[in-house]
Amino acid sequence: MATTVIEVNNKLIKFTQQINREFVRENMFSPYMSEDLNAIIRLRSELKAGGEDMNIPMVTRLDGPGVATGTLVGNEEKIDNYGMRIRMEWARNAVVTTKAEEHKDSADIFGEAKPLLSDWGKELQRDELIAAFMALPTEALPTSSGGVRVNGIQYDLATAAQKNTWNVDNQDRIVYGKLRSNWNASHATALATLDTTDDKLTATNGSMAKRAMKLASPRIRPYKTKDGYEHFVAFAGTNTFRDLKISLETINKDARAREANGIEKNPLFQDGDQLYDGVIYREVPEISQFVDNVWTSLLTAGAGGTTRVEPVFFCGQQAAVVGWGQMAKPTFRKEDDYGFITGVGVEMAYAMAKMFKKHPMDGTALKQWGVLTGFYATTVD
């Protein structure tokens, strides 16, 4: 029997019409970003009407003794204030194709352009916010044509002397592992004390960092939730977050509620934020990736010159700021060659910065305002 065989050019070929885009995580900082004074990451939009630099006024509380029945004239207390400046820069991206290429396309690849550009913007802002949390405060602004939206001295570009100055100026706002006594005026020496026996991120070590936040001067104010509770929020990478979960396993098992839907809320069974001793711990996996790819000096900064160290950012109110010049908006190519070329893009203008203040106002120390930086030894799986 002669069986008819379909020639290769006549075979039916079906393509998956929906492109499976690479998984892109929503910005893990988003729930803590708003225009409220209470926000951990403040959104400011004064530059929407134009301008390059934004000034953020800051004041500290009055803490003088005052007077009783004595003369108040001449004994008034001055308001310790500061103006933090940040500089905006543009961020733009686009994709382009021709009608000839679209005609060949069986899966509408170019139709994915807008969501891909949206994801690009979210990833960019997330990564720049991580870089801003780790940056060293400086009153020097980025150059206007440098394409830099993160204000501050990038940690990976800072000299040893610059890191030491930041370390000394923020002694009440930097902790190293288990003990406050691990701190040293030399940043590198302090990192070298960290080992994976005592200095991982654990519930106990996190509580020590919280106590340090409560004793810091100027004060770090806790974040207030909508139901009126006060918390600090800590952003941790995947490795340090894993260490924390291991240390909390017994606490979660013994103390978590066992209602009918308890399994849905119990972190033993569901991934998500951890809450302990008034600190909300949120996992931001890209912090660990920054150690691998950007802050590479931390890969062996711990004990013995072989121990990995990762930062954890313990935050209160106004820890960082995003100053908007222009919110993200779509753009379209005008030079379309009589409609043959199609291009779509996105553009936005903003500045990212960890908030800081010169303290006192007539001093020289630049203190990060609402964040305590913790350094912890860890390992990779």
| Total domains, the chain | 1
Kindly report the average pLDDT of the chain as a whole number: 87
- Identify the pLDDT of residue 263: 47
| 106 domain residue, yes or no | yes
| 177 domain residue, yes or no | yes
| 242 domain residue, yes or no | yes
Q: What is the dihedral of CA 205, 207, 210, 215, to 10 degrees?
A: -90
| 22 domain residue, yes or no | no
| 279 domain residue, yes or no | yes
* Cα-based distances in Å from 39 to 7, 85, 123, 143, 326: 65, 19, 21, 28, 20
Residue 183 sits in which domain range? 30-60+79-378
Cβ distance 223 to 315 under 8 Å?
A: yes
Residue 11 has pLDDT above 80, yes or no: no
In this prediction, residue 3 has a pLDDT band, given cuts at 50, 70 and 90, of low
Q: What percent of the chain has pLDDT over 90?
A: 54
| 19 domain residue, yes or no | no
- Identify the pLDDT of residue 125: 93
281 exposed, middle or buried (CB, 10 Å; 0-12, 13-18, 19+)?
buried
Residues 6+ apart with CB under 8 A from 50: none
Please list the alpha-helical segments (H only) found in 3-98: none
* Cα-based distances in Å from 169 to 164, 234, 294, 364, 367: 9, 21, 24, 9, 6
The number of residues in the chain equals 381
| 12 domain residue, yes or no | no
| 16 domain residue, yes or no | no
- Identify the pLDDT of residue 260: 52
In this prediction, residue 166 has a pLDDT band, given cuts at 50, 70 and 90, of very high
- Identify the pLDDT of residue 337: 83
- Distance (Å, whole) CA 125 – CA 327: 12
Residue 155 has pLDDT above 90, yes or no: yes
- Distance (Å, whole) CA 250 – CA 279: 17
- Among 40-54, 136-150, 251-265, the least confident range: 251-265
